[in-house]
Amino acid sequence: MTDLPLDRLPGLACGTGLDLLAEVTVLDLTTSIAGPYATMLLGDLGARVIKLERPGQGDDARAWGPPFLEGESLWFLAVNRNKESLTLDLRQAQGRAVFEGLLAKADLLVTNQPPAVQRKLGLDYATLSALKPDLIFTSLTGFGLTGARAEQACYDLIAEGYSGVMDLTGTPDRPAQKVGAPAADLLAGQDAALASLAALFARQRDGKGRLLDVALVESMTRFMACRILPYLGSGEVPARSGGTDSVIAVYQTFETADQPLTLGLGSDAIWRRFWQAVGKPERAEHPEEGSNAKRRAKRADLVAEIQTALAAQGRDAWLAAFATARVPAGPINRVDEVTADPALIDRGLFYRLEDEGRRLPQVGLGIQVDGAAVTPRLPPPLLGQHKASLLADLLGYDKDKIDALAAQGVI
């Protein structure tokens, strides 16, 4: 087998994982990225996540590739660990009966179906809360459950365009750019997980279910708050600038003698430490540059002066000097460099999950709990992998009944 970057990652077997959400059961009716990311976060924190998928096809993201890893979509593998997969045809009466049996056992349901589809399939909040009044129902759609655009289709790209983030990403001489990752999907997924946790907490107090309505466009737009509020309060429309127009006077990339770096001089103290690191401590004492507002007024001249100074040495020499001086600075890493970063690997962010012959690269939760990285309980599931165990465990079905459902194409 050809050597792959995943082979250089630490190998990890599934373990007990976190139990922060032990005894919480989630029905996951989502596909693609945003919804599965939300439910993976809940699974990482200890919830039992039952991924309901269409027989024969499953989550749309299972087909997203290339690249594939031994036939499995790497995009799917990125957002689906700590889940059990059950294929279920909800259009058949027996499939609906299975679903309602699982619903009775669940605490939380997450869906990303548009409102009209939710109603058509009887998977909307009004229908399901009548069956289970204390259900927490989390809907994650492009535009929300209400409003003029509620029924419109949406992907991450569309949400980024609506939010304003694309218009401010890139340089002024080039077209607007999408963020280099599915930012709206991941932000909305985090919002859905956060809201679900808050609703679970509230239900412990009052016993009530909740309808949670999360929209990709609104999550992505809220991400823009630090650009939107200055416009609302000043009338100044921000423009694409290649990331050089921060409220912080000096906060951008610079070239060095070899490779570029990032530099953020966000306070008067850091401004002074920067010039000490550069070997010109007296340069920090100019009164006309003694505050961020004053430095912003002279931004162009200061940037040019700093650029000249940094051209004298290579990136790594400057980064070492700035680290010693406690000046915020860093490299501009490619993905291959990020995943080889020893500090991130040591903290358990990247690993190779090994499960019954499968070798699955993973990006971890990124949250240390009690001083340790989180060990996954389950790998991303194969399609329908857990249908027998789930139906036997949760609904008490015997082998004959499970086999009969499988023969009829229900599961």
The residue type of 284 is A
CB atoms within 10 A of CB 5: 13
> What span, in angstroms and rounded, lies between the C-alpha atoms of 33 and 55?
19
Could you say which of 59, 124, 167, 185 is catalytic? 185
Residue 185 catalytic?
yes
The residues that are catalytic are 185
